[in-house]
Amino acid sequence: MKSINPATEEVLATYKEDDTGTVYAQLDTAREAFESWSERSVSSRERLLANVADVLRENIDKYAKQITIEVGKPLDQAVSEIEKCVWVCNYYSQHSSEYLQNEHIGTEPGAKTYVSYEPLGAILAIMPWNYPFWQVFRFAAPHITSGNVAILKHSPNVFGCAQAIEDIFEEAGYPDGVFTSVQVSVNQVSDIIEDDRVRAVTLTGSTRAGKEVATISGRELKPTVFELGGSDPFVVLDDAPVERAAEVGATARTQNAGQSCIAAKRFIVHETVFDEFLERLTTEFKALTIGDPTDVETDVGPLAREDLLETLHDQVMTSVDAGATLHLGGEPLDQSGYFYPPTILVDVPDETPAATEELFGPVATVFKVESEREALRIANDTQYGLGASVWTTNTDRGESVAQELEAGNVFVNQLVKSDPRVPFSGVKDSGYGTELSRHGIHEFVNKKTIWIEGQGE
């Protein structure tokens, strides 16, 4: 298994897959660690999580560089990713005790009744490469602090990031086995899920992967949380602030080279502002600098792998062959690295990849609609339901539209983003379960009812 710099195609490292004996030993260590870790006070776990935030902050440039060389993310965006990891660690180091305290419920006179939130055990986290630190920390911060232990199965192209994260927890003072990274391929995942030492599973990745893991986990009756693919609509109504919408829309589509499940992908624009929006979006795209992700002037780096580049280009060309108009871009750069330029497709027919599939790269499909009702129809006409964005100068109207959009996260006059303070989830083929906030920390705990009555006289 290799890690390849997507900007230069240089092999950074080659990793040997952990054999079955090594994995079983790691699972044993995790189970043993859980016995004592789960007995610690929440405040003790909070203090260690604050240490993690300190380690991240003190080494932010080193970790950002690791992201950049393995994923191709522009350096300033990699720095922002680490800063967000600091934020989520600080958030749960300050609020976990509140979220996990016993919840008292009134029942019968003289009875003491409450809900106790108790950890489950070892949680397998199958994480993606596109946000190699953030996706891990938004899982680990709440669920380790709630008393569980974590087993990370990261993507092979970011094993360097996985090792760095494991080292961070060790440096912060965590006991051995509380956070463990395993170097395994997808072929070994089913065996790990089926192992009795693993009590729950979370996955961030494709819908296909989610369905496969859900099948295995369901057979084993193990709780799961899935954050899967997305084809987020970006709805621009007739009264939208067009200049601002185009500016934010360009960022929402091209940050991390468009490799984000919650990136704006389908721009659904009212006909009265369509021409102006398309012109402004085109201008914004043309102003973006694509190139070396270590250069501070770069806005768009390469795609993370060669196969991702090939898949994206095939989706674009198949859509064009079926009648879509290539308004901008559409051809991989003729140079080393997996670079694809910011691209815009218009006049996209139904049933083409650009209309129905997730395009994981800097490609915007722009649809013209005649009404708000048509915009909602197209926005909801998808198997996905992760995020959505609505643009209007009338916030009451925006809220009304937001309530009709079939998505787990809807933002009015803002791009879709995850925030530790509010829950994050998807519907339809975008997954289920909740991450972040008070709601997220309760996904992998036993909500135990305790009822106590005296014996009377």
Catalytically active residues are 227, 261
Q: Which residues lie closer than 8 Å to 211 by C-beta, 6 or more apart?
A: none
Using DSSP's 3-state secondary structure scheme, residue 11 falls into: strand
**In DSSP terms, which residues pair with 367 in a beta bridge?**
268
Question: For residue 361, how many other CB atoms are within 10 A of its CB?
Answer: 29
Rounded alpha-carbon distances, angstroms, from residue 235 to 232, 266, 277, 367: 10, 8, 11, 10
Of 171, 169, 133, nearest to 154 by C-alpha is: 133
Contact in structure between 254 and 340 (CB atoms under 8 Å): no
The DSSP code for 299 is S
Kind of pairing, strands 122-126 and 149-153?
Answer: parallel
Q: How many angstroms separate the CA atoms of 235 and 221, rounded?
A: 39
Q: In one letter, which amino acid is 151?
A: I
Q: What are phi and psi of 343, to 5 degrees?
A: -130, 145
Contact in structure between 267 and 367 (CB atoms under 8 Å): yes
Q: How many angstroms separate the CA atoms of 174 and 166, rounded?
A: 10
Q: How many angstroms separate the CA atoms of 156 and 422, rounded?
A: 30
Of 151, 198, 149, 166, nearest to 34 by C-alpha is: 149
Using DSSP's 3-state secondary structure scheme, residue 180 falls into: strand
Query: What is the Cβ-side half-sphere exposure of residue 431, based on CA atoms within 13 angstroms?
Result: 29
